[in-house]
Amino acid sequence: MTSTVQIGSDVAVEFPLASGETPAAASWRLEDETGATVSAEADVPPEGRLPGLVRVTVPGTLNATPGLRLVRLRYAEPGGVMGEGGEFFYRVTAAQELAPAVNSFAAYNRLLGLAAAMVELDAFLAASRADRVVALETAYRRLVTLRVYEPGNERHQNRLHDVPWAGAGIELETLSADELAALDPRLGAALQRAQIAEADAILRGDGAAESSRLAGVEEATIGETTQKFRRGKPLRLSISAAAMRELRGLVSFTPRIAR
């Protein structure tokens, strides 16, 4: 299981050595989730090289941003050459687990309070806190790919279909925490509800019925049970239908043309 630490925390790692010997030398380096080097190779001081064990401390300055980290160890037995000695994964998270404009539209407790007033969230409410946080982070990453509009921005809305069709809109990926807090409260609340609904869909998994519906299947029979779907293949979206219902009238699907 991957360990989790908060931003800015030191991380102490112990690498057991099968030989039980005190290594003559050892070094470590730190990588991020893409394999890029966060910290170049550094020597382990004598006090970190023990009989059958190497201790490494990753300073908090190298854990200043959220994401996965990988510590790689190299060591040499007395009289030997340097070789690979093991690796250790851990995850750096924001101090609040979910931080606005970092990996969520609101803090965890705020989203949990909203969820209590929503319906059909069986998977979300039954999940552990850790699983909810992971699902909410994933939901946020999906939702920020959308372009949205604030309520009442009628210049960008088609009144017949209650859907925006033109204009620049709001790029959610680029918002700072202050800009997110300054959004129209109705849009902010809708984004938070959509994040919860999407997290619930993630925790439920992609059901066979939804996959069939998206594939354009009109009727499916298993044993004595028959399911019928609306005719025609529906528009495939990057988020669930439940999340989209929370954002009705606030999202544009019109592609932009750059000049």
The model scores a pTM over 0.85: no
What is the C-alpha to C-alpha distance for residues 208 and 205, in angstroms, rounded to an integer? 10
Residues in contact with 192: Cβ distance below 8 Å, sequence separation at least 6, in sequence order = 105, 106, 110, 111, 114
**For position 93, what pLDDT does the model report?**
80
Question: How many C-beta atoms lie closer than 10 Å to residue 105's C-beta?
Answer: 28
Considering the segment(s) 3-93 as one domain, its CATH architecture is: Sandwich (2.60)
What is the C-alpha to C-alpha distance for residues 225 and 20, in angstroms, rounded to an integer? 63
Would you give the distance in Å from CA 78 to the centre of its chain?
Answer: 44
**For position 143, what pLDDT does the model report?**
96
Which tens digit of pLDDT belongs to each residue from 146-177?
Answer: 989 988 764 444 443 444 434 468 999 999 99
**For position 4, what pLDDT does the model report?**
82
| Residue given tokens 């803090």 in the structure block | 107
**For position 94, what pLDDT does the model report?**
72
N residues, the chain: 259
**For position 230, what pLDDT does the model report?**
55
- Give the start-to-end residue ranges of the domains of the chain: 3-93, 108-252
**For position 1, what pLDDT does the model report?**
54
The identity of residue 31, as a single letter, is E
**For position 218, what pLDDT does the model report?**
52
Locate all alpha helices (DSSP H) within 69-128, ordered by sequence: 108-115, 122-126
What is the C-alpha to C-alpha distance for residues 10 and 57, in angstroms, rounded to an integer? 7
**For position 106, what pLDDT does the model report?**
95
Would you give the distance in Å from CA 37 to the centre of its chain?
Answer: 22
Q: Which residues of the chain have pLDDT under 50?
A: 154-167, 207-215, 217, 220-222, 227, 229, 235, 256-259
